[in-house]
Structure 1
């Protein structure tokens, strides 16, 4: 099950209506039937003792051919999860638990697929069906639910599964099964850098290490005497950001005077202990590498401590709607620094932008999606890339072909939801789709772009 090249139930590459691999089923597939009769005539006069083994092999071959969609010129190659009129994608994401804020991403992705289904009839005549399951940001749940999607639901591919730990926990399984793990919703560098070991997996967003390097460049250029403190989630996600920052600082990494970690299962108020230690060590520049709930809490706690360090915030927690929640809890935010690569739906400069208009059209049909939530435009943007890949696959809608396109053939310069100049690109030697980001600063209740895009392509291998 799930092997590349098998046809969807109810399809046959030699003719219509070939339902499956029994001898009787061959009669439903006319070209195969004619070939079978020809072989039967040729060997029919010989004794069974001589022809039996060969006939058995030929029959087995023809049965396999009919079942697996053996290709001839002009035929359509399909795979598990693909029918003549549909493609089934699967997803696990946190729609409950400590990272539930991210759950809206999948709903926004589904809204874009629905838009494509309704406005364009799907992709190459096939509508995209998207099954979303809540893993609560827990690796054990992600494993169970991913197996359900692959083995019971028989999805064609997994798309935009969220979380560094959760997606790492299912990567080996999906690669063993040769099920595409496409555009994981995490910037953990391993999902791009380790493609040679896991070539059924690809990320999408900028790698966390690259983002950390961009922050380091900003520090060295504008705050060369900074005393840096870091608050980070104590798993691969937080450690990846910290590594990028250290690598970017290079010989100046001693500027980091302390790094405090927290557990994702901890209560947000307990972060006061880590933040107090950072303050006590004279930190004047704070980096927060955290998910949204912990970011909001950290911003409010540092203000309550009477502490006003220059603050850098990772991009995966910076949508304006969450910054405003932090402000409502007493956080002082002016001067906070982050990066962006996607258009901000709260930024008035995009009010008349065609991409933003399309985004708002899509999200208007998602009852649970807030138009101002930056996670939703992320979801629509990555869904746009997914549709682009499926479109490029054309009549060769197999797992292998779609995986090859995603990992080695992307060259998007026109994704309408990304900042101008941001490219989504992969080649046979480069599996980092997005590597560009632009520094942003918070003031007057919103984010403002600073300078130009910084590209970290080629700095991480």
Structure 2
């Protein structure tokens, strides 16, 4: 029997109402009809304070999303940033404050392997996502050990392996010295070099010096490296000590090795200029992002949009800062995750969406994607080698891909 128009309309309306009830928003602490509360700890002070600018960059991006897009799915993004001083105990204290007192939905893009490692057990116990954390340590790639963790940046071990492959290809017979930060960051560089050099590692590496983040300088280590006969130096060091090492090598008469520098320390404004442009010229690093001051990207749509964003929302920020560019790119990934989460703003669903991500951030070099799956938590699988010419970074050859 055919339903009459009135009855049919009533049935459709009832079904729609039932569907609307079934699709009611789901919220955990930190989410509501109007707002998503996001927490981050950052080194606003301490030995890694050069990277603390990311808080301002994230906040600027969220303001842009709120003003121009009305937020994500109609909800404004609000960032709460606390200073952890790059200290693990301080990171624990501030993370607990953000979760228990401020009630954030998730922790986002906090910097550092040691600090993120310190808060990991607590966040797992609370079932709070540690989303897109800012650490390239290989430890984050184990899905079973990291049920609530996802990383956002290239893996240090893979970068060092690529350095080794490039050294073998371009400088046969090289004598390599390594400056290693005495933590997981530095250890991953040594592990990567061992992967790249293989059984020849012990013959190729003629000097291996370490330092603590608390060390005031690395001058003594660089003097030992200079006396080793090395003609290649790999720096597994963050910004402050990387700049010191480059500057010291430039001061040692007759010592002009080929320097390989981790991408995290490749900021022109934060590392190379303080180290001295002359000493920095010729350094090789890797890139995943487009450098906004590179003429090669002058007409790129993504770079133009980024520069316009900085002019409007973060005019005091340095456009060429690697921290600002990575913050912008990672925020694009976050917005993609939150958009796909829809009205299910539970921590479990946010975590699920983060572990099913495939996106091309507009400031990533063409051909480099951000890809995470439940089984593979390594977000970056291609690296572009670059070399500093005294003013800008230039690409070298085709991207190296993870084996």
TM-score normalised by L of structure 2: 0.92
- Counterpart in 2 of 1:392? 340
Please, which of 21, 26, 48 is the counterpart of residue 77 of structure 1?
26
What is the SS of the residue equivalent to 1:167?
helix
Q: Matches of 1:150 and 1:334 in 2, distance apart?
A: 45
- Counterpart in 2 of 1:410? 357
What is the SS of the residue equivalent to 1:173?
helix
Residue by residue over 1:157-188, the C-alpha shift from the partner in whole angstroms, topping out at 9 and shown as x without a partner, is: 00000011011000111011000001111101
Structure 2 residue 330 is the aligned partner of structure 1 residue 382: yes
Q: Matches of 1:122 and 1:366 in 2, distance apart?
A: 18
Residue by residue over 1:263-307, the C-alpha shift from the partner in whole angstroms, topping out at 9 and shown as x without a partner, is: 101112xx1111111111111100111111111111110111121
Structure 2 residue 204 is the aligned partner of structure 1 residue 258: no
Give the alignment of 1:1-20 within 5 angstroms. Answer: none
Residue by residue over 1:39-70, the C-alpha shift from the partner in whole angstroms, topping out at 9 and shown as x without a partner, is: xxxxxxxxxxxxxxxxxxxxxxxxxxxxxxxx
Please, which of 261, 267, 270 is the counterpart of residue 313 of structure 1?
261
Q: Matches of 2:154 and 2:386 in 1, distance apart?
A: 15
Please, which of 48, 57, 62 is the counterpart of residue 99 of structure 1?
48
C-alpha contact 2:266 2:272 (8 A) present in aligned 1: no
- Counterpart in 2 of 1:109? 58
Q: Matches of 1:102 and 1:428 in 2, distance apart?
A: 29
Please, which of 389, 395, 398 is the counterpart of residue 449 of structure 1?
395
What is the SS of the residue equivalent to 1:332?
helix
Q: Matches of 1:194 and 1:304 in 2, distance apart?
A: 42
C-alpha contact 1:324 1:445 (8 A) present in aligned 2: no
C-alpha contact 1:345 1:374 (8 A) present in aligned 2: no
Q: Matches of 2:393 and 2:274 in 1, distance apart?
A: 14
C-alpha contact 1:299 1:326 (8 A) present in aligned 2: no
Residue by residue over 1:209-236, the C-alpha shift from the partner in whole angstroms, topping out at 9 and shown as x without a partner, is: 1111111110111112111100111111
C-alpha contact 1:158 1:182 (8 A) present in aligned 2: yes
C-alpha contact 2:244 2:275 (8 A) present in aligned 1: no
- Counterpart in 2 of 1:148? 97
- Counterpart in 2 of 1:345? 292
Shift of 1:339: 0.3
- Counterpart in 2 of 1:120? 69
- Counterpart in 2 of 1:62? none
Shift of 1:322: 3.0
Residue by residue over 1:81-136, the C-alpha shift from the partner in whole angstroms, topping out at 9 and shown as x without a partner, is: 00111000000011111111101112111111111111000000001000111111
C-alpha contact 1:107 1:368 (8 A) present in aligned 2: no
Which blocks of at least 5 consecutive residues in structure 2 are unaligned?
Answer: 1-19
C-alpha contact 1:172 1:198 (8 A) present in aligned 2: no
Shift of 1:324: 4.2
TM-score normalised by L of structure 1: 0.80
Shift of 1:359: 1.2
Q: Matches of 1:243 and 1:279 in 2, distance apart?
A: 23
- Counterpart in 2 of 1:226? 174
- Counterpart in 2 of 1:425? 371
Shift of 1:424: 0.9
C-alpha contact 1:301 1:331 (8 A) present in aligned 2: no
- Counterpart in 2 of 1:209? 157
Shift of 1:367: 4.8
Which blocks of at least 5 consecutive residues in structure 1 are unaligned?
Answer: 1-70
What is the SS of the residue equivalent to 1:114?
helix
Q: Matches of 2:296 and 2:331 in 1, distance apart?
A: 23
Structure 2 residue 219 is the aligned partner of structure 1 residue 291: no
Residue by residue over 1:195-214, the C-alpha shift from the partner in whole angstroms, topping out at 9 and shown as x without a partner, is: 21221011011111111111
